[in-house]
Structure 1
Amino acid sequence: MAGQSPRITAEMIREIDWSQIDRRTEEGWWHLYPFGERFLDAQLSHRPWMDKQIDLDFFFPYYGFRFNYTFLFHEGFIAFSNPWFIQPPYTFPNPHWPKKPDPAIIAAFMADQQMQHVGDTRISNVWYRILERPSNLIGYNNLQTDLRPRDMEPPGGISQPQGVFSYKDPRYYRTYRGRQLKTEEGRLEDPEMLDQITHDIRHSMVGARGWKADYAMIVTWERMSYGGAPKVTRLDQYEQAKRWQNTYQLVIATDEIRSYVMLNYAHINWTSSTMSGSLTRGRGGKQSALVGFNGGNGTGWYEMPFSADGDSYKLVRFGSSQIAGRWLARVDEYIQYGGCNNDSRGSLKLSQEYGNMLGGFALNVSGPCFRLTDVPKLQFDELTVDCERIDMIFVRCVIPVNRVFRTGLVDLRLSVDGGKNYAWWTKFYVLQPGLAQRRVNLINDVRQPHNNWHAWEAENLTVHWEWENITSNPNTQVDIALYGYWEDVEGHSFKQIGYIARRHPNNGAYTFTPRTMQTDFEADIDAWRFYRGGVVQVRVADMILEDRGDIMHWSEPIPFGWFFHKRWEYEWGREWPLRLCQEWFDWDGRRENFIMELEPNVPCPCTLSQAQLDFGRFTAHPECDMSGDHSCTRTQGALHCVISSAAVWTGAGQMCCYDYEGWLMFSDDFEFNDQYLRFYSAGVPYRAHPFGSYPYKRPPYVPTMSNFYNDLLPYDFCCKWAGHCEFFFWRRQTSTCQEYRPPVIGYIYGENHFTTYDGTRFSFHGKGYYVLSMMKSPRHDLMIQGRMEQPADTIWEEPVKASILTGIAARDNGSSVVQVFARKDFRRWRYKTDVYVDGVRIFFDMPWQKIHTFQGVTVRVPPRNMNQSEIEIMFATGVGLKIEEARGLLNIIVALPASYNQTSKMAWHPTETPSLLSIFDETTTQWIDPALFSPYGACAYTYRTVGLLGTYNQNPNDDFTTPECGILHSASNQRQLFYEFGERWRLDLLPNIGSLFQPEHRPLYDPLSFADPFYEPVFDPWLQSNYSHFESLVFSRDEVRVMCQGVPSCEYDYLMSGRRELALETLDSERKFEQFKKKGEVRLKSCGPLMKNPGVIKFPPGNNYLDGVTVSFMCKPEYFLHGDQQRTCINGTWSPGWWVWCRDRSEETALKWMTGILSSVAILLALIAIFVFCILTGKQRQAEHIRRQKIIETLKKSPEFMQRSLLTPNTPPQQRETIIYPKSTEDFRDRSQISNFASPRVRFVNPYPQRVVHLGGGEGVDFAFNEASV
């Protein structure tokens, strides 16, 4: 009977050689995968409730857990733990857990059922087999390779071997290119079957592209009868008996990362068992068979359609795929329903959950089952696009280019009636281009640095792209195009400006020479004037409907010097780089001064320690991160750079870089030569923040592109191309740290040990939801809440009477709500935490998923952290949370900026109404009624930050402030602290404060470990009453004292949990935090940078301009020093002195010679001038004397004078005068000479003979003559 497919009859049922028969042929069950003896399946024992443990030899991720074994049951399910025998009705998750087991199960058709016999011949079977690929094929990730011609194979020639076995061929042993595969009953290597499973799942579920089944297990329940079914004793009743049997199949497939489950139903003739109350032929009863997934340990239950309903037989008639009777789901992390359904509304499934802001990507969307007459339309944020129906499962929607200019979560809604109703919805995350997945890689030649995409003189450039994902058609050609970006203060443009190549084979690589590129006559002829940078696009040349690829991929932004430099040189000459730099310099100088807003609000931290502590206001720069990408292309010499986590209202952002000594690098220390850029380039402020900001769609708020155009391109123009980086640094001067005020931090670690903002330490071991920190004011609305529960039992299986922090929920100023939960034991193999933002689960395990921006908050995971064990939450107000998962608990650091200090901005004053208090807000200059903001009376007027993390006001005495504003003394005992302070902050007791935790996302584990009204923790584990005999079998208390070194928190955790590793974690966390707080919270006084001119050498070389530091300056050997050689920073001000500058030695010598020559000439000219002056003065005096003599001679010859002596006997001789009055002026022979003193009086003073007598005139003219001659 080999190769035959006979109809099975009662007469021949005992004689059939089933090893030659495909058991699917009798009933035509072709949508089931092959099963039975012919395909080397193993059988499960026919005795009921005789399960079998199967070792899978691979890891199967399921509901966050990971299993390498399973239990197989007749009752239509597989389990990953051994459940107790239970009878219907079944309830999942088990409400009695943890007292009773809650197994992790996959129920294909879970009901009491049994093997059916016809006479003494068993016709029922449970078959199973495990499939795996040969080890050399595991990890291969594309099924299209073998369809490609040889000349289109990817670089390296990697391809999948093609099998020669067909399931239509009766041969047992399959070979792949001559290699015999391993075969044994129930376990075999079968790549062909795994390829078929992969194909079926990929074409029935969106999001499965790129996944491949490396392992699978196929379980088939054949002709199973319901429990309590009557026996069939005669062989001639075979035809009648098989009509009431159920045949179905379960397939689990995985690559050990993603897991899928396929349920195939052939015949479903009964729905419940007699034990379930079935009355006739397996129908009716209290509960029909269950179909679904239970996560186990209280995790959750997901129910498939028709589960536990009386119409379970419809599982055959319908399906979630295009094949009736086939249902699919993805099950690794959470249950994602696969395929489509016939509901009128529901959630959508997308082929990708992230997309580039530039657009152009295609989305395969599934949700409803699409009919031929449907008119699908997709609303993408504010866009509405038409979609094309691919098949019943998918529609294809292409997001247009240059239409989506924003980032973060956006709403997607789908209509199937042409846009009348959008009843299907989901969320989609738009990535900024700078952080999006690099599907087009621009390769720089490391052997020839000038062959660089950022260099204008490049000779050969290479571009690579993901050829497997851009299209599913192996014969498709691609175009490689250039898209340029330009913006001004009013708008922006993003358009195609040319081609690199057209209709190039899709082989994933292209190398070209820019200088030999042909002119594109279809491009914009004036593009060179505006578009000086942009991106490279690789797209499918001819799009077809059946293509399920991405269609289009983008590169990172790059300058276009290599593309336009010929035209720029033709238009502007050989100095075109300097022309570009100066144009930008002039244009940027005419714009608003963004630093005026940026510097007061976000100054740079002075040291790297401060920058790391201020994780609320700053985050690591994606391109210069000491724990990630450390290329630092534009910040050479930096160990680490940070950027402000949010932009100011102008769209600007701050960037600060630190050298290997931890000091802030300043642009003023830059040396003005092009070689200096190789090892020193400081961080600069950005006119446009790289992450963008609201409203996103206009400059300078466009994510990535505005920053590229305004801040990155000028660096290439001025520094890299023109060699005049001084122009760039004049416009982008590094922020000083003189106005920087570090934040204050609080800490929760270990088994709920607290360090408040003001430094008070205590422990609190409550269970439930608590307020960790909150503030309600006109400026701030902060709320941080925590979930506390008991940890796992001790290793001697006793409950731990303490608690740990397992969940955080936070919001500030109307931002998105961020929730973080620690995952439980055995669920931390891949992810340590679960993160939800506004109810949407967010993952960070891919390089392009490390930074997510939402409304008012940014969430980041370090680049090298793939398990989400370290999470940073940065609110736009500057509040930051750093969360670290450690063995199932969360260690939390909260950083608050100075504006959250109760004394920083607020004051209070009694109003005219004695019963009220008003608050004066300095930001609004208004008096405000505190009742509008807080229900807590007197505490309102201070606007204090309160909660379990204490009151932030630099006063540790009031850290234990209750919601009613009562203050508990810090020296209170632990019991009083627990009941009178900690428990007061339980959310259950604060009805005016809502919970941020969303019920649908709160993990439900052991309810008693979370809420117990009779719970009281252990306050002092050293008491003899808290001693356990079993602990002495594990450790001694002396060992605890020695290991913990006298640290109380470490001792408490060791004694309570019994786990040494947990105590060491607590000890290490406390010490790290102390150092962290000590280094980062200290406010440093800085004097700011000293101007450094060309040739100046500063010592020490570290850029330390802090208080008490003396900076020495010297010049290079070819320079001479000018100015004060040493300056000291004193209390934030430099000591008096002149700025240091250096002059070139040859210039200095020339100036000295010139100074000497000019000085000599000046002295000689001065001597000559003095000599000439003396000669001229002598001649003038001589002429004057002659003139006066003539006047005196004239007076002597006049006879008409009257002389009167005024001498008296008592008058001293030196005071005697003689006054002469002329009778008439006519007696003067030269009247013109005497006219100058024609006064009524002429005075002659002559006390002694032979002395000179002065003659005074009415016009003030004096004449001198000798009286003896008168």
Structure 2
Amino acid sequence: MSTDGVTYNRQGAWLSVHSGKLASDFKVTLVNATQWQYYGTPNVGGTLKMTWNTSLVKAERVKVELWGYRETGEPYSDSWTPEWKYLYTLGRDLQNNGVFSFIPQPTEKPLSDWELGSVRVSSSTEPDGKWNVEAVWSEDHALAWHLEKSFRQDSAAWALDKCLKWDELERSLPNFLNETIDCPCTLAQARADTGRFQTDYGCDIEKGSVCTYHPGSVHCVRAIQASPKYAAGQQCCYDSTGTQVLTSDSIGGSTPDRGHDWGSPPYRKPPRVPGVSHWLYDVLSFYYCCLWSDNCRYYFTHRPSSDCRTYQAPKAGIAFGDPHFITFDGSNYTFNGKGEYHLVSAPEKGLHVQGRTERVKLENGSLATATRLSSVAMREKASDVIEVRLTGQDDRLEVLKNQEVLSFSQQSWMDLKGVFVFSSIPQNVTVMFPSGAGVEVRARGGAMATTVLLPREFTDQTLGLLGRMNDNPKDDLVSSNGEVIPSDQSGAETLFKFGAGWAITNETSLFTYDTEHLLNEYYFAPKHDPGFVPSFSVQEDPSDPLYGEMAKVCSGSWFCKYDTLTSRSLMMGHATWVSFQSHTAAVTDLKPVVSCGWLAPPRNGKKEGTRYLEGSKVTFSCNKGYVISGSEVRSCQKDGKWSGETTHCVSDNILGIVLGSVFASIALVSVIVAIVVNSRKQKRKATEMQVKGDL
């Protein structure tokens, strides 16, 4: 790497950052009040304004350039290539004061054909359009302000034409919808399934996002991994009741993406280019069809929401506190050995999660007869090795990639080799793998809690301290030699022996040994310390100074009481209680939910209710002049089917004709019956008279 383009005297690993995730101090900021994205639409015009951090461009005089992005060639072929190109300069020889304003002028073809781009600020001494110069960039954005006169004269007509051309293009491209992951059924599921879904920074309930592209939603998540063949993405949005919003019901509904917003390897190949491919195929088209014209029906034809009828929630196992374990199938036990152990071993899936435990230090500096998790290391197949360590400073966690420390000071997530790492605050780290496996590490109260989430594909694939995942808690605890420990024989000493058997080896270790302490106590020592014997039980003593507060903090939780007494710390006991409660809530959130699928309103009628889960009801009504045929109310049943019959709205006139025909038919039948009956009576009477005459 070089800072001057001449001397390449620097080397090391570096990370390309998604422009949308950069803090405003590190990019050109397009001032929202000037409405860059809508410039040229009705009632939008005037001066545009941008700002930047002057320290990022080391020059007294700067210039402002516009660069465009496009992808050319035959889609999904070798000729499909991306292109960034310098278009023109907006301002020259400007004072580097961090502010630039201008009034855009319509651009003529062929420049106006560039509809996506970015603004660059660089030194005035550099030639126009020169690559690889010290500069600061804006986010990618729709170049509405740059478009030709026809857009400003009739933006809706111009946008409709673009929308129709996009519709035609989409019909010629392969269908990617069948390979995208299904959305979770509820907001609770979406937020708990952190191994496969991550908060969409454009619609985040925690940050009070306005959800610009999904009005009516309060939170959206994106599938972390792109789909296998077409590198497509999935976005799922939810309203304030926690119900998934579908595009069939609302413009703010969930939408899949032909281009995954975060890209996918190989990143230089469309539609895998991070950010910009998504803009070209999914965002600009939304502008054309929905924001700049009223033609969303075209957009949602190709971007319909995925419902959750085939969604399968992951299963969660956790190690927390002094360490206590709750397996994927819900068994719980305590194993507080000292050493390094397999938390999850799934060789056929290539997933390995390992945990290191160390003795708890008491306030007086002595060591307790109990341990805690201090580090977790993990890898899937040939991915980077990620290790998360407890630093002991304000519960801060340190993240290492292949034994080197990562910094999350400028952004909250990193897309690495075969692994995605997210850390919004130093106390929380989430690690996600392509298989859908996720590992959440949380630090609180001087302890580390680690949750592993696994999709259903891991059924019967896991061993280790978090057990065998197969929906059968009776065979959760399988020893390293294949023996199943029956639940009625799982005493503390037996469980301690079971846990010791899952110690790793130096050859299988994923951990970093970068201090003398780690080398001596873990690398050059037995992976399970045979000389350490923990407290297998604790006694509650009402005379203990901790007893009264402990009762309030722990609310009857044995895990909390055990950790409070062994560590002599109410803070650690409370952290254990919080971890247990959080895990319980997550398991509840991830329980299977039955969905009956979307119900359409009847033609010439409407419906009330947009929730399609078990127990939900949808009510139908008809417009004036129509009456209901079928069920007025339908309920989602536990078998995943709707009750009642398909609802139709029938015209009053048609109904009258139908009823009149029915009544006429009944009258005609009555007449025929009367004639037949009367005829039979006459014949019978004639026969009787003939018989009498014969007599």
TM-score range with shorter-chain normalisation?
A: 0.7 to 0.9
Query: Which position in structure 1 is the counterpart of 2:692?
Result: none
2:561 to 1047, 1051, 1064: 1051
| C-alpha spacing 1:718/1:963, structure 2 compared with 1 (3 Å) | same
Is this contact kept in 2: 1:1113–1:1140, CA < 8 A? no
1:395-544 correspondence to structure 2 within 5 Å = 395=7, 414=9, 425-438=11-24, 439-445=27-33, 451-457=35-41, 458-474=44-60, 476-487=61-72, 489=75, 490-514=80-104, 517=105, 525-529=109-113, 531-543=114-126
Highest Rg: 1 or 2? Answer: 1
Tell me if the contact between 1:483 and 1:537 (Cα under 8 Å) persists in the aligned partners: no
Q: Does the CA-based 8 Å contact 1:638-1:660 persist in structure 2?
A: yes
Give the corresponding residue for 1:727.
298
Is 1:968–2:550 an aligned residue pair? no
Task: Specify the alignment match of 1:129 in structure 2.
Answer: none
Residue 1006 of structure 1 and its aligned partner are, at CA, apart by 9.4
Q: Which amino acid aligns with 2:613?
A: L
* Pairwise CA RMSD: 3.1
Unpaired runs of at least 5, structure 2: 665-695
Partner AA of 2:452 in structure 1: V
- 1:583 counterpart = 2:165: yes
Q: Which residue in 2 is equivalent to 1:956?
A: 473
Matched, 1:784 2:369: no
TM-score (norm 2): 0.85
How far apart in 2 are the matches of 1:1058 and 1:1021?
Answer: 12
The yes-or-no answer on 1:1018 pairing with 2:532 is no
Tell me which residue corresponds to 1:1099.
608
Could you tell me how far 1:629 is from its partner in structure 2?
Answer: 6.2
Size of the alignment, in residue pairs?
640
Given candidates 574, 585, 596, the residue that maps to 1:1087 is 596
One-letter identity of the residue aligned with 1:512? F
Moved over 6 A (4+): 1008-1011
In the TM superposition, residue 426 of structure 1 has moved relative to its aligned partner by 1.1
User: CA–CA distance in 1 between the matches of 2:296 and 2:126?
Assistant: 46
The residue identity in structure 2 corresponding to 1:953 is N
Structure 1 letter corresponding to 2:469: Y
The match for 1:823 is: 391
What per-residue deviation string (whole Å, max 9, x for no partner) do you get for residues 1081-1103 of structure 1? x2122111112479865333xx3
The 5 Å alignment of 1:20-59 reads none
Letter in 1 for 2:646: W
Q: Hey, which of these two has a bigger chunk of helix by percent?
A: 2
Aligned to 1:713: 284
Equivalence for 1:251: none
Amino acid at match of 1:615: T
SS in 2 for 1:717: helix
CA contact (8 A) 1:481 1:538 kept: no
Amino acid at match of 2:357: M
**Secondary structure at the counterpart of residue 139 of structure 2:** coil
Conserved 8 A contact 1:460-1:511: no
**Matched residue, 1:114:** none
* Equivalent AA in structure 2 for residue 535 of structure 1: S
Residue 617 of structure 1 contacts residue 874 of structure 1 at CA under 8 Å; is this kept in 2?
A: yes
Q: Secondary structure at the match of 1:800?
A: strand
Report Cα offsets for 1:111-153 as digits up to 9, x if no partner: xxxxxxxxxxxxxxxxxxxxxxxxxxxxxxxxxxxxxxxxxxx
1:1070 Cα deviation (Å)? 1.1
CA distance in 2, matches of 1:467, 1:873: 32
Superposed CA deviations along residues 1063-1093 of structure 1, whole A, max 9, x for unmatched, are 122122212211220221x212211111247
Does 2:399 correspond to 1:810?
no
Bigger relative CO (Cα 8 Å, ≥ 6 apart): 2
Contact kept? 2:40, 2:151, Cα under 8 Å = no
Equivalent residue number for residue 1065 of structure 1: 575
CA–CA separation in structure 1 for the residues paired with 2:106 and 2:235: 40
List aligned pairs for 1:879-894, cutoff 5 A.
879-894=437-452
Q: Residues 1092, 861 of structure 1: CA spacing in aligned structure 2 closer, same or farther, 3 A cutoff?
A: farther
Q: CA deviation at 1:575?
A: 1.6
Give the letter aligned to residue 857 of structure 1: V
* 2:117–2:143 contact (8 Å) kept in structure 1: yes
1:558 to 119, 131, 141: 141
CA distance in structure 2 between the partners assigned to 1:465 and 1:710 by the alignment: 28
Is residue 2:274 matched to residue 1:703?
A: yes
| Structure 1: 5+ residue stretches without partners | 1-349, 351-362, 366-386, 389-394, 398-413, 415-423, 671-679, 903-943, 1143-1147, 1164-1270
Alignment CA distance shift 1:1096-1:1057 (3 Å): farther
Q: Does 1:595 align with 2:174?
A: no
- Is the counterpart of residue 765 in structure 1 residue 336 in structure 2? yes
Match of 2:670 in 1: none
TM-superposed CA distance for 1:494, in Å, is 2.0
Q: By how many angstroms is 1:660 displaced? A: 0.6
| Residue 452 of structure 1: how far off its partner (Å) | 4.1
The answer to whether 1:1137 aligns with 2:645 is yes
Offset at 1:567? 4.1
* Structure 1 residues 1140 and 735, CA gap change in structure 2 (3 angstroms): farther
Q: Give the distance between the partners of 2:222 and 2:602, measured in 1 at CA.
A: 28
What CA distance in whole angstroms lies between the structure 2 residues aligned with 1:507 and 1:467? 9
Residue aligned with 2:12, SS: strand
Task: Give the drift of 1:839.
Answer: 2.5
8 A Cα contact 1:440 1:463, kept in partner: no
Q: Distance in 2 between matches of 1:466 and 1:691?
A: 24
CA contact (8 A) 2:36 2:144 kept: no
Which piece of structure 1 moves more, 724-733 or 628-637? 628-637
Where do 1:257-336 residues align within 5 Å? Answer: none
Checking the alignment, whether the CA contact within 8 Å between 1:433 and 1:703 is kept in structure 2 is no
Q: Which amino acid aligns with 1:593?
A: N
Query: SS in structure 1 opposite 2:298?
Result: helix
Task: Answer yes or no: is the 8 Å Cα contact 1:1123–1:1140 preserved in 2.
Answer: yes
Offset at residue 566 of structure 1 (A):
1.1
Following the alignment from structure 2 to structure 1, what is the Cα–Cα distance between the partners of residues 49 and 513? Answer: 49
Describe the shift of the 1:565–1:1111 C-alpha distance in structure 2 as closer, same or farther (beyond 3 A): farther
TM-score, normalised with respect to structure 1: 0.48
Structure 1 position 698, deviation (Å): 1.3
Identity of aligned residues (%): 26
Letter in 1 for 2:92: R
Q: How many angstroms does 1:623 deviate by? A: 0.9
User: Structure 1 residue 682: deviation in Å?
Assistant: 0.8
Contact 2:72 2:81 in 1 (8 A): yes
Alpha-carbon deviations, 1:664-699, whole Å to 9, x = none? 1111112xxxxxxxxx51120011111111111111
Distance 2:597 2:516 in 1: 49
Correspondent of 2:315 among 725, 741, 744: 744
Cα distance in 2 for residues equivalent to 1:658 and 1:1005: 49
1:851 aligned partner, one-letter code: W
Contact residue 150 and residue 158 of structure 2 kept, 8 A: no
Cα deviation code 1:540-569 (max 9, x no counterpart): 22139xxxx973221112112332141457
- Structure 1 residues 968 and 1098, CA gap change in structure 2 (3 angstroms): same
Question: Distance in 1 between the 2:627 and 2:517 partners?
Answer: 70
Q: What amino acid is the match of 1:1109?
A: S
